[in-house]
Structure 1
Amino acid sequence: VFAAFGCHPLSAHEWDADMASMVESAVADENNAVVAVGECGLDYHYALRKTQEDVFVAQMKMATELGAPLVIHTREAEADTLRLMRQHLRKDARVHVHCFTSSARLAKALLGEYPNLCLGFTGVCTFKNGGDVREVVRSTPLDRILLETDGPYMAPAPHRGAVAHPGHVPHIAKKIAEVKGVRAEEVFAQCRANTRRTY
């Protein structure tokens, strides 16, 4: 089991020099299982926009300095997420945009501008109301997709309302295979390769 370590945007008000040092030390230590900075980013469902932006920028810079992958969370903040990434993140950065539920337009921009970026898809792609996410899955090359649960949230159909866990990943992979018209085994194999390449 490997981990990402960072400051979620909804905890941005807790970011200080001590937390920054703790995150940097954990990611820089090659003797532990921390392999990425994040999840970090912007979540405008709640307030603290300026604070979230400052903390997101700090973690992008940290990941760049450490040569570490970055796990990004974006919710109701597409324009600012893209603007800050363009300003502060190298184009060759290894990025996992986790629990992708944003627009096809953002997906196209991210995939076009960041060749080492992958989009993570959760149980949302299995939901009856997940049609927009399935359209993004359809248009995203298989070699740019990561499988995830976002546990304990977003359990896939037929487990909606349950606690999401890694055992639910096959449901997500099967839905992606169905949307893309390929075998589930191909999705698993390619997503495993994508994960190894990203992390």
Structure 2
Amino acid sequence: MLATLGGLLALLLGLAILLLPLLATELSRPRDSAWGAVVLLLGLVLVTSADRLTGAPMLGVLCGGLLIGRLAGEVSQGRWRQLTAEEQQRLWSTERWQTSLQQAGASLAHLLALLTTATSGMSQWLTQQRQPKASGKRWVRPEEPSSTSEIDSLVIDSLVTAEIPEPQPLPEPSSSQAG
């Protein structure tokens, strides 16, 4: 239970770190996305392996979570102190957050549009790949006679008039070859 709760908190924290450059650019740094991915991975492992974490391993996970939380608090305080008073004031305004959320929504809508065009292009490509390829051969058919009775009569006439050669007797082996 505790591992699942810690994993869910880590997933939320990782998502918040990933969204930090979109929502609060003043507080973000260039490598935040990598650390956000690591925290998301930690949360995923904690949620999926919660049944195996009991006793001493769970105590280790709990202590690690407390250390990560303390480090995140120190980093966020250091970043807050680096901001000017004007930036700190602006960060608390609702107008700024509304603008940031609108920009994030526009970015998400643009991403969804790109994904839909990419999937439609991929589906078109897949349908083209699944279609049988046309060969370069061209089949030429002889002209058909006017009716099938003519064809039958031609076949019968050719069989009747065909000469069948009589079978020739096999030569007998000579005595010099038999020995």
Range class of TM-score, shorter chain = under 0.3
Whose RCO is larger (CA < 8 A, sep 6+)?
2
Larger Rg: 2
Query: Between Structure 1 and Structure 2, which shows a larger proportion of helix residues?
Result: 2
TM-score, length basis structure 1: 0.18
TM-score, length basis structure 2: 0.20
